[in-house]
């Protein structure tokens, strides 16, 4: 076989291969580009501390006496007893409060996107 025969044989082999590939059945399958269950989660937390302190101290002192004057000697002398009153009042107040509040909300929806479609809002587009 010469070089022309080799070229013809190569041409026949390439043509046979192409015809065989064209004879195979062809099919298309649509597969989802993305799918799932997107989830929206919201968590809230509130923490509060309150502390108060009050202190009050009240002291009172009262003394009443009835002095009389001794006219003979010129000296002051007390002929009646002295009345004395002492009052102490102490008040204290303490208050402490604690508050903890937590809330959560979760929303999930099914979603499938074929091809190059954009992400739909909540899966309804």
User: How would you write the pLDDT of the chain (125 residues) with one tens digit per residue?
Assistant: 667 888 889 999 999 998 888 888 877 666 556 667 778 899 999 999 999 999 999 999 998 877 666 556 656 555 667 788 999 999 999 999 999 999 999 988 777 766 655 555 554 44
The C-alpha torsion from 107 through 113 and 118 to 124, rounded to 10°, is: -50
Residue pair 38/94 in contact by the 8 Å Cβ criterion: no
Angle (CA) 81-71-76 rounded to 5° is: 40
Structural domain tally of the chain? 1
Per the structure, the complete domain to which residue 32 belongs is given by 3-123
- At residue 56, the pLDDT reads 95
pTM score, whole prediction:
0.37
CA distance 18 to 12: 10
């Amino acid at each position: 076989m010469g070089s022309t025969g080799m070229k013809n044989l190569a041409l026949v082999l390439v043509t046979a291969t192409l015809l065989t590939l064209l004879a195979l059945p062809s099919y298309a399958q649509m597969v989802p580009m993305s799918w799932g269950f997107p989830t929206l989660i919201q968590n809230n937390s509130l923490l509060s501390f309150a502390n108060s302190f009050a202190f009050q101290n009240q002291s009172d002192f009262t003394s009443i006496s009835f002095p009389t004057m001794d006219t003979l000697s010129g000296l002051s002398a007390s002929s009646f007893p002295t009345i004395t009153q002492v009052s102490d009042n102490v008040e204290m107040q303490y208050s402490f409060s604690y508050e903890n509040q937590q809330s959560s909300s979760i929303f999930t929806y099914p979603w499938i996107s074929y091809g190059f479609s954009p992400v739909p809002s909540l899966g309804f587009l």
